[in-house]
A = this chain, B = another copy of it.
Amino acid sequence: MSVAKRVPVANNLLAALPRKDRQRLLASLVPIALTFGEILYEPGKAIRYVYFPNDSVVSLLTLVEGHRALEVGLVGCEGMVGIPLALGINVSPVRALVQGTGTAMRMSATRFRKEFHNSVPLQRALYRFTHVLMAQVTQTAACNRFHFIEARLARWLLMTRDRVLSNQFRLTQEFLSHMLGVRRVGVTKAAGALQQRKLINYSRGNISILDRKGLEAAACRCYQIVKSIPGSA
């Protein structure tokens, strides 16, 4: 995690604020580079910074002892990482893991509290995003319960695609298994099936989406449902 100067501010949440509020916030925000694998929060630990992703992507994971991690939320430029702070809580219930390398705007927790208090538009935006996140977690809960790995994988790839704005990215199957909460072998099988159907291409951590429409058809409807929540794009 290093300071990244002069990155374009592409976070939608910030971009949608009135100019005055945005300017004031930007004075307290520092652009920062987030790299794949970095852990921003650990469950039960204090939240020290909030992050407004630009082109980076952050996964929210629950940890249950004796099991793999399980992703419950995915935050990109449409949101903020650190929602508990907006709710007056300074401890994270989840692990926050950088899943897509990129930049974000960062602010310290103490500074955030102050700025949040002073900007009603920011409050409105963050409360709305809290709702989107809640809906996302809810849908994911059901998805993890009911749908096949293959469909869930397809959904996950699409969600990532929407946030990194690219059809190609790096991800090992081992990593994916910790997102979906399944065995690596399960991912291998599912990815193999998708590849055979010419929907994706997969090779040593390099994944590319070949047929987006087809992949959407292979994914469960959860993808569309979450996407259609106002404020989730």
List residues of A whose CB falls within 8 A of some B CB. 62, 64-65, 67, 70, 72, 83-84, 86-89, 93-94, 124, 127-128, 130-131, 133-135, 137-146, 181, 221-222, 229
Please determine whether A134 and B133 come into contact, CB atoms closer than 8 angstroms: yes
- When all copies of this chain in the complex are counted, the total is 2
Contacts of A145 in B (CB 8 A): 67, 70, 144-145, 181
Q: Is the interface of A mostly helix, strand, loop or mixed?
A: helix
| Residue of B with least CB distance to A84 | B131
Please determine whether B87 and A128 come into contact, CB atoms closer than 8 angstroms: yes
Contacts of A131 in B (CB 8 A): 84, 87-89, 93
Q: Closest 5 CB pairs between A and B?
A: A141-B141, A93-B135, A87-B127, A87-B131, A62-B142
A142 CB → nearest B CB, Å: 4
Q: A70-B145, A93-B131, A94-B138 are in contact. List 16 more A-B contacts (CB 8 A).
A: A62-B139, A62-B142, A64-B143, A64-B222, A70-B142, A72-B138, A72-B141, A72-B142, A87-B131, A88-B127, A88-B131, A89-B128, A93-B138, A134-B137, A141-B144, A146-B181
